[in-house]
Amino acid sequence: MKLSSLSIIIGLAVQLALAAPEIKPRRTRSLLINPDAQPDLPRPQNAQRVSALSAATSLNLDDIQGDILIGMKKNKEMFFFFSIQDATAFKSKLASDIQALVTTTNQLLSVNTQPTTAVNIAFSNSGLKALGVNDNLGDSDFASGQFADASNLGDPGTSDWVSGFAGTGVHGVFLLASDTVENINDELANIQRILGDSISELHRLDGAARPGDQEGHEHFGYMDGISQPAVDGFTQNSLPGQVLLPAGKFIVGADGDSGSRPSWATGGSFLAFRQMQQKVPEFNKYVQDHALNVPELSVEENTDLFGARLIGRWKSGAPIDLAPLHDDPALAADNTRNNDFTFDHPEVPDFNIRTNQTNCPFRQISRSHCTTQKAHIRKTRPRADFGTEEQNHHIIRAGIPYGPEVTDDEHSSNKSSTDPSLERGLAFVAYQSSIANGFKFMQRIWVNNANFFISSTGVDPIIGREQSSAADAPRDITGTDPLDATRSFTLDIDFVVSRGGEYFFSPPISALAGALAA
Ligand code: HEM
Ligand SMILES: *[C@@H]1O[C@H](CO)[C@@H](O)[C@H](O)[C@H]1NC(C)=O
Ligand SMILES: *[C@@H]1O[C@H](CO)[C@@H](O)[C@H](O)[C@H]1NC(C)=O
């Protein structure tokens, strides 16, 4: 071989070797789902460019972890809860190999910058303490942990809590998201190889979008993730009916966050995690047994209507405030219309938002001993019930269903299996800059409060429980039958059971690189 051709070959090899990092496998399809009913993510070139509210400092989307702003769009996601065994070893890996794996917001916005598996990490207060980080993050609920908060959240004790969540033993959580379980398991193995014995596993939960046409729907069957706040400086255009809020309501240190925080925390967010088991066959039977009797509707439509009155949306996602008696799949799939309602109807002469529940239930007409109801979405976002929309109690929901589909046995027996591998529900994730104003406020002051927003409006029929009530304590509801708002039904089982959770802080990536140092 001539020297010149050898050098060409060597030259090519060198070029290939140099080029190798550039040609690492790129994704050809997104690791996220994007059902029509949900708001789209901003295009990468447009995110971060515009602030509709002020000319305040822009968000650093290369520093904010990817999970926070993207909503309920994960295809598959594993939550891996761990405790730190060797703080020194863990900290040095966190600052090097681990932070390099953590996925930014910008990376998730376009398919060709997405990693094979997105990696996010968040710490509990006890986790930060274990790492020697004693700064006050300015959130007292985070500082106390969720176990101490169980009764405030309405949990009937903690005997149903996953053992790992009982106490303050969970130091952190990895959130691994991809389009296949194999990718996620590979990434977990990689992380465990990097961290070795410096962490140990306390609990894991495998989330996945439901199969086929149920993609984006939670386990009771309702499309989820439709109504999310628009985040100033991130969301490109707020959709009709979306509330536009300063980024500081969700991102620590951003414009609109009034908390006092260490500077390294800027760009982080508090993550409230709850493992909420759903008793799906029991819910289905209850709804079936309580079909309404609106004359022009079939039995099936009357069944669906009863369920829709509990949630505030049809299974398709169409809001009952705009589609009171019939589902409207076209409305559901149109994200410019499916969130464009307030519960008020100025177009209807003499419509009184405080008395008329033809469209969406909210209160009982005559109170006896019972509590009554208000649809889940009206409890968690009252919209015009306050006159104008309030700005202080919003969350970004970023959860995902977990557990398998209902089996034939469960379906035919109308009972959830007691086999732990068949447990299913919602891996609930809420991001906010203040847990007290976000998730906890919603749960305590609205959902579990029978007197919000007018006295005796009742607890949330899906997730509400009056504080200190026993598990499965009967809850009577009225307002569910549009023909007779005084008609009462007794919810005799908790369709949603809290299995506990923890409060975390999802730090900016720069703080991971600096191993959370001041
Ligand atoms: C297993 C438990 C839960 C189920 C099955 C569930 C189901 C749903 C469904 C089907 C929707 C309508 C879809 C949408 O508007 O995006 C919704 C909306 C919502 N949920 Fe839940 N949810 C659960 C737990 C919670 C919890 C614990 C909270 C907070 C305390 C919460 C807060 C919200 C909020 C804020 C909305 C949007 C309301 C709006 O903006 O109109 N949910 N949920
Ligand atoms: C309640 O609102 C519906 C429309 O949603 C309207 O048809 C009805 O007349 C209203 N009822 C009263 C008493 O105003
Ligand atoms: C399940 O519930 C349905 C609806 O109430 C009922 O028709 C059926 O008989 C129930 N099956 C069993 C095994 O209880």
pLDDT in tens, 412-464: 999 999 999 999 999 999 999 999 999 999 999 998 888 776 666 678 889 98
Q: Please compute the mean of the pLDDT values over residues 35-42 and round it to a whole number.
A: 96
Dihedral-angle region of residue 350 (phi above 0 means left; psi in -120 to 50 means alpha; beta otherwise): left
Q: ∠ CA(337), CA(343), CA(347), 5° rounding?
A: 80
Query: What per-residue confidence (pLDDT) applies to 3?
Result: 45
Q: Is the CB of 225 under 6 A from ligand 1?
A: yes
Residue 359 CA, closest ligand 2 atom number: 5
At position 163, the amino acid (one-letter code) is S
Residues contacting 6, CB < 8 A, separation 6+:
none
Three-state DSSP class for residue 126: helix
Ligand 3 mean position to 280 CA, how many Å?
14
Which ligand has the minimum distance to the alpha carbon of residue 359?
Answer: 2
Specify whether the CB–CB gap between 414 and 247 falls below 8 A: no
Q: Please compute the mean of the pLDDT values over residues 9-34 and round it to a whole number.
A: 64
Lowest-confidence pick of 116-130, 341-355, 358-372, 450-464: 358-372
Q: Please compute the mean of the pLDDT values over residues 52-67 and round it to a whole number.
A: 82
Residues contacting 99, CB < 8 A, separation 6+:
509, 512, 513
- Of 6 and 469, the structure prediction assigns the larger pLDDT to 469
Q: Which two tokens stand for residue 228?
A: 């999310």
Q: Please compute the mean of the pLDDT values over residues 146-154 and round it to a whole number.
A: 96
Lowest-confidence pick of 19-28, 152-161, 257-266, 330-339: 19-28
Q: Give the Å distances, CA to CA, from 155 to 106, 262, 273, 373.
A: 37, 32, 14, 19
Query: What per-residue confidence (pLDDT) applies to 19?
Result: 47
Which ligand has the minimum distance to the alpha carbon of residue 382?
Answer: 1
Query: What per-residue confidence (pLDDT) applies to 518?
Result: 55
How far is 172 from 503, CA to CA, in rounded Å? 10
Query: What per-residue confidence (pLDDT) applies to 367?
Result: 39
pLDDT of residue 370 exceeding 70: no
Query: What per-residue confidence (pLDDT) applies to 184?
Result: 98
Structure confidence by residue, pLDDT tens digits, 271-288: 999 999 999 999 999 999
- Of 179 and 21, the structure prediction assigns the larger pLDDT to 179
Ligand 2 mean position to 355 CA, how many Å?
9
Query: What per-residue confidence (pLDDT) applies to 484?
Result: 84
Structure confidence by residue, pLDDT tens digits, 83-96: 999 999 999 999 99
Q: Which of 201, 189, 244 is nearest to 83 (CA)?
A: 201
Mean pLDDT, the chain, whole residue set: 90
Q: Which of 40, 39, 42, 48 is nearest to 233 (CA)?
A: 48
pLDDT of residue 122 exceeding 80: yes
Ligand 2 mean position to 351 CA, how many Å?
6
The pick from 279, 285, 306 for probing ligand 3's pocket by mutation, whose C-beta has the most ligand atoms within 8 angstroms, reads 285
How far is 92 from 94, CA to CA, in rounded Å? 5
Which residues are near ligand 3 (CB < 6 Å)?
285, 288-289, 413-414
How far is 302 from 294, CA to CA, in rounded Å? 7
3-class SS letters over 157-207: CCCCCCHHHCCCCCCEEEEEEECCHHHHHHHHHHHHHHHHHHEEEEEEEEE
Ligand 2: which residue has its CA nearest to atom 1?
Answer: 356
Residue 352 CA, closest ligand 2 atom number: 14
The pick from 358, 360, 362, 484 for probing ligand 2's pocket by mutation, whose C-beta has the most ligand atoms within 8 angstroms, reads 358
Confidence of residue 21 (pLDDT cuts 50, 70, 90): very low
Ligand 3 mean position to 317 CA, how many Å?
27
Ligand 3 mean position to 413 CA, how many Å?
7
Ligand 1: which residue has its CA nearest to atom 11?
Answer: 224
Ligand 1 mean position to 404 CA, how many Å?
20
Query: What per-residue confidence (pLDDT) applies to 476?
Result: 80
Query: What per-residue confidence (pLDDT) applies to 24?
Result: 54
Q: Is the CB of 356 under 6 A from ligand 2?
A: yes
How far does the chain reach from its first CA to its final CA, in angstroms? Answer: 60
Query: What per-residue confidence (pLDDT) applies to 55?
Result: 55
Rg of the Cα trace of the chain?
24
Q: Is the CB of 227 under 6 A from ligand 2?
A: no
Catalytically active residues, by annotation: 224
Structure confidence by residue, pLDDT tens digits, 328-346: 999 999 999 999 999 999 9
Dihedral-angle region of residue 450 (phi above 0 means left; psi in -120 to 50 means alpha; beta otherwise): alpha
How far is 198 from 88, CA to CA, in rounded Å? 8
Residue-level length of the chain: 518
Q: ∠ CA(485), CA(491), CA(493), 5° rounding?
A: 170
| The model's pTM | 0.93
How far is 96 from 93, CA to CA, in rounded Å? 5
Output DSSP code: residue 78: E
Residue 428 phi/psi, 5° resolution?
Answer: -80, 130
How far is 72 from 231, CA to CA, in rounded Å? 15
Query: What per-residue confidence (pLDDT) applies to 47?
Result: 55
Tokens 């309580």 belong to 290
Residues contacting 387, CB < 8 A, separation 6+:
none
Ligand 3: which residue has its CA nearest to atom 6?
Answer: 285
How far is 152 from 143, CA to CA, in rounded Å? 15
How far is 241 from 247, CA to CA, in rounded Å? 18
Q: Is the CB of 213 under 6 A from ligand 2?
A: no
Q: Give the Å distances, CA to CA, from 16 to 3, 21, 23, 132.
A: 20, 9, 9, 44
Query: What per-residue confidence (pLDDT) applies to 451?
Result: 78
